[in-house]
Every structure is written in C-alpha cells, then in structure tokens.
Chains A and B, each alone.
Chain A
Amino acid sequence: MNRHTLDARRILCPLPVIRTQDRVAELAPGDVLEVRATDPGALNDIPAWCRINGHRVLEAGERDGEVVVVIEVGNSDG
C-alpha cells in the first residue's frame, strides 16, 4: 500500500472530483489517497464519487478550514 496526496485547493467543484478521479485511475487497489480541497462542495462530492465508483472513504471532514478526504482505492477500474 502506498500513501499519496492530492492538492485540490483553490479550484471549484467539480474540478476537485475530476482531479481525484484522474489521480485514482493511476493508483493501485489498496493505495491510499489524501485529498485536500477548499471548495466545501468537495466534502459531499468526493465521497459520492467514491461510493458510485467502488472506492472506500476512510475519512471525510474539515481540518484547519480545509476539506480533507482520505480514500482507499478499490478494485474497480473506475
């Protein structure tokens, strides 16, 4: 398992979701990706994207005024 981070700050939805999706596509199942965003919408949208595409949300919340979503990449190819 590798741990990765993605800076999706200062861009607005749906761009944080698109960046997450494109990054996850490069990772292996079991890898963990921590996404940081400033658009509050990302707190709903990234977990929603994970649910429909078969990835596990390990953490979703706000830290230091930023949205942090931690994802474990699933087996799906999505």
Chain B
Amino acid sequence: MSDQRKAVALISGGLDSMLAAKVIMEQGIHVEGINFFTGFCVEGHTHAIRKRDRARPKRNNALWVAEQLGIKLHIIDVIEEYKQVVLNPRHGYGQNLNPCLDCKGFMVARAYEWIREHGFDFIITGEVMGQRPMSQRRDTLPVIQKESGAGDLLLRPLCARHLPPTLPEREGWVDRDKLLDFSGRSRKPQMALAAKYGFEDYAQPAGGCCFLTDAAYSAKLADLWRARGRRDYDLDDIMLLKVGRHIRPAPHFKLIVGREEGENNFLEGYRKRFPHLRCVSHPGPLVLVDGEPGEADLELAARIAARYSQGRTAPAVTLELVRPGGESRELTVAPLPPAEIPEDWHV
C-alpha cells in the first residue's frame, strides 16, 4: 500500500467535482475532499436563515457529496485571505462581481499548499473546458495551473483528454485513456455519467457556486462599497447582504428590513451593532439602520419601517428606536406611502 497515490479533490458540492473525484477513485487512487468557505458560498446560510427553507430537508452539499463518495472532507475557512481575491482580482470580474479566474487560482494554490503539507500527490477539480465563460476556457485553464503553482499536478479528469498530459498521467498513476473528454456547456455527458455511477439527487446550482455570480447580490455589494467610499467588507457585511430587503434613501444610510420570521431572528443577532426599529403598535419586521443616520433620517427610516408593518394603512404607527448603547425611545409616524419610496432606493 505504500505506493498508493493520493489525490485531493476540490469539492464544491456540485455534480462536476463529485464526478471528477469518482473517476479518479475508480482508478484506485486514495481521494480526500477539500472545500473552501469564502463567506459567499451558497451553502447553508440562506437555508439556515429563511424559515420557509427550513421546512425543506437541509444539507450541506459538500458534506453530502463526500458521504456519497465515501471520502473524508476537509473544510477550510478562507474568509480573510479570500478578500484580496474579491477586492483586487488580477483578471477582473465575470458578469457580476464573480472573480472566477482568480478564485480558481486561489483555491488550487491553497490545495497545492495542502497536498505538500499532507503528503498527497496531486489535485483534481471538476472543471470542464468551455463550460464557464471565464475560468473554464482553453486559454484560461493553463492560467490556473500556472498562477496556482500547481502546474501539472493539477488534473481535470472530466476534460483531461483535451489537455496536455499531466504528471499523474505521464507517470502512469492514472490511466489517461480512462479519463474523459467533456467540453462545452451541455450537461448531458455529466448526467449520463452520474446515472452510470448511480448518483441521484445531486445539487444543480444554476448560476455558479457562490453568491458573487448573483446579479442582485453583486448590486448590493457594489452599493456597500460606493456608500462607504472604499472597497472592503467583513463577514457580517456579506452575511447581511444575503438577508432582507435593503433600502437606501441616501448615500449615508440604508435600512435592512426582515422579510419573514427567520430573517427577523437572524437580524436580531445584529441588534447590538446597529440602531434598529421595531413596531410596537402593530406586528412588523425588525429593521436595522446601517450607516450614519441623523435625526431626520431616523424619522424617515421609521416611516419606511412602518410601511412594512401590518399598520401600513393606519394613519399612525408607533415604533421603538433602540441605539447600539441600549438607549431607546418611541416614535409615532405616518407610514410612508409605497408611491413615495422610489424604485431606486431598493438596492
């Protein structure tokens, strides 16, 4: 057993990386999975936050994939290091704020570090040539190999036969003839292979593996940078962008309005950091006020919060305003009519 080769597979939770790992396992290679938590992952959070999603069976797809494959999974927190990828991507962004090419280079570089620390031989990913417009093109696949430092220790089993042989192939650790030649955007070959392996019920994320490919999410992130006059974020910032309705009446403040009970509960956790409003005369959402609101702004915020309460048609609604120090006071306001909330306040 001493010469058994070992590979680490980047596991996103989607089908492609699952298949890539399986193809290599079938060749007798010991495979373990690695999964990077950037803070933007679609995994988990939204499910945990939204009450209506809680009714559905919830699972972490990366863990689920590892369990189906019968491999170990190492989940790595890269929140801090990942910031430079999002804030200063050398290769720019895709359609939204998704820095896919830099992101892949970063993840493979981290996997490369990991295999050296753990005595593994090579890295596998589920990339398919021509599948994604930015990171999975014939001309960008080599960029990832080069910039990550992994070079030809990076094997893409699903499209390997379109690419020059890597070290594991040249050394005969894996048989190149049993690797695949998938290319393009069609999902049919993957689905056929999944059927062959008996994989069912796998996740099929529509846009990509993270929130940065989502137009609405990217708009909120861009708005945050604009409003603060600098490009930066912390984990709380990017978590809050996944939750609630964001309304920005002026550059120096915005409201985050819970849309349902699950979101309200989640926002509760941030009460100590933000001035917040809660209706006392009627049932209504919890509303956080982010930024530097003045007195008149808080009054306007209260009128907007009232508009999202069940007192929206009442002549007056009473709310409690609590400041981060705990100081609180009541405000009675007329709910702002929907027509007076301009479309462009909705971030």
Annotate A1-42 by CB proximity to B: 1 below 8 A, 0 otherwise: 000000000101111011001000000000000000001110
Pair B239/A21 contact, Cβ less than 8 Å: no
| Number of chain A residues close to chain B: CB under 8 A | 21
Q: Which residue of A lies closest to B33 (CB)?
A: A52
In the complex, whether B47 has a CB less than 8 A from a CB of chain A is: yes
Q: Is the CB of B77 within 8 A of A12?
A: no
Contact B54 A14 (CB under 8 A): no
B21 within 8 A of partner (CB)? no
**B77–A15 contact, CB under 8 A?**
yes
Chain B residue contacts of A44, Cβ below 8 A: 58-60
Kindly supply a per-residue 1/0 record for chain B positions 22-37, scoring 1 wherever the CB is within 8 Å of any chain A CB and 0 otherwise. 0000000000000101
Question: Given known contacts A12-B48, A13-B43, is B77 in contact with A45 (CB within 8 Å)?
Answer: no
Q: Collect the chain A residues with CB atoms within 8 Å of residue B49's CB.
A: 12
A14 in contact with B72 (CB, 8 Å): no
Q: Map CB proximity to A onto B53-77 as digits: 1 under 8 Å, 0 otherwise.
A: 0100011101110110011111111
Pairwise interchain contact A14-B60, C-beta atoms closer than 8 A: yes
Q: Are B73 and A18 neighbours in the complex by a CB distance under 8 Å?
A: no
The smallest beta-carbon distance between B158 and chain A, in angstroms, is 23
Complex CA distance for A44 and B43, rounded to whole angstroms: 13
Q: Are A12 and B37 in contact (CB under 8 A)?
A: no
B64 neighbours in A (Cβ, 8 Å): 48
B77, A13: Cβ atoms under 8 Å? no
* Shortest CB distance A57–B (Å): 13
- Taking CB atoms and an 8 Å cut-off, the chain B residues in 69-95 that contact chain A are 70-77
Of B70, B72, B75, B269, the residue contacting A18 (CB under 8 A) is B75
Known contacts A45-B60, A48-B63, A12 near B44 by CB under 8 Å = yes
- For A15, what are the chain B residues with a Cβ–Cβ distance below 8 Å? 37, 77
Query: What residues make up the interface of B, taking CB atoms closer than 8 Å to A?
Result: 35, 37, 41, 43-45, 47-49, 54, 58-60, 62-64, 66-67, 70-77, 239, 269
Please give the residue numbers on chain A whose beta carbons come within 8 Å of chain B beta carbons, in ascending order: 10, 12-15, 17-18, 21, 39-41, 44-45, 48-49, 51-54, 76, 78
Q: Which 10 A-B pairs have the closest CB atoms?
A: A13-B44, A48-B63, A41-B48, A78-B72, A45-B60, A39-B48, A12-B45, A52-B66, A18-B77, A52-B67
